[in-house]
Amino acid sequence: MRNFYSGTSNLVLPVPNKTFFPEAFRDRTRLSYYASLFNSVEINASFYKMPRAKTVLKWSGEVPDDFVFSFKLNKTVTHTLQGAFDVQPIPAFMDAIGVTTKRGCLLIQLPPKFRPDLFQLPALLTVLKPYGWRIAVEFRQPDWYTDDVFELLNSFDAALVLHDLRKSTTPQVFTANHTYIRFHGPEDGYRGSYTADYLEEYASYIQGWLGEGKSVYAYFNNTLGAAVQDLQNLNRLVSANYLEFE
């Protein structure tokens, strides 16, 4: 399934430790085993700690050629200043993640208290655009969901992140040639397991978007719940739909 990339938010495995790994992976890293199962991961750790180029290069060498990394922009850019962005850390951050050719998306998450600002957001996107990453923006404040904001994202080919947090659930609006989905969990606190019907519905959406020529990135952030199982079920459903479509 070309152009469909899916994984968990940070690295989550279906087994508790290496003693349960297949024999071929017991002497290899957790990432190597993960990448034998899935073709992408969303790196949330980069939100809390600035990534190091050496580490990103190491990761890149542990995964297949068709595997991609999506990185969450560091919080010093988006969450440090009250109601403003701090662009000073951006070059160091982008240089560190830019050493990999296995690029998914750059995820920008805005804090819930950040109100709509049609001057600062384009300024941030203008700084980030030349680095060549696909961009996805996640709003935690529903006041951002306006036509003006959607048009702004579209002008930068930046995807509106589709997510299901209850206080800021996203409308199904598409602002880029790629689609980015974050499944935060059906229960509070990034917990719970999605129903078969819910995953079947999204598998149908994803197949439709792929049929339209979009690249689709989907990540399960219910890591205190059933993220891996939900991911496996979604992949199976999308694959089944794909084979039926073919």
Phi, psi of 88 (to 5 degrees): -60, -40
Q: Would residue 240 count as lying in a domain?
A: no
Residue 241, pLDDT > 70, answer no
* 36 touches 68 (CB < 8 A): no
Its sign, for the CA torsion 9, 14, 18, 24, is negative
Amino acid sitting at position 176: A
Mean pLDDT of 29-50: 97
- Residue 245 scores a pLDDT above 60: no
242 against 107, higher pLDDT? 107
Q: What is the pLDDT of residue 47?
A: 98
Domain range for 20: 4-192+214-225
pLDDT of residue 2: 84
Mean pLDDT of 64-92: 95
Q: Count CB atoms within 10 A of the CB of residue 108.
A: 21
For residue 146, the domain's CATH number is 3.20.20.410
Q: Is the pLDDT of residue 158 over 80?
A: yes
Within 13 Å and on the Cβ side, how many CA atoms surround 187? Answer: 11
Percent of all residues in the chain with a pLDDT value above 90, rounded to a whole number = 90
State the residue for tokens 């935690």: 140
Residue 36 lies in a domain: yes
232 found inside a domain: no
Q: Which amino acid is at 147?
A: D
Number of domains comprising the chain: 1
Strands 162-163 and 215-220: unpaired
Q: What is the pLDDT of residue 96?
A: 98
Q: Mean of the pLDDT values across residues 96-105?
A: 98
Tens digits of per-residue pLDDT, 172-224? 999 999 999 999 999 999 999 999 999 999 999 999 999 999 999 999 999 99
d(CA 99, CA 124): 21
Query: Does residue 78 surpass a pLDDT of 90?
Result: yes
Q: What is the DSSP pairing of strand 178-183 with strand 162-163?
A: parallel
On average, the pLDDT of the chain sits at 95
Residue 202 lies in a domain: no
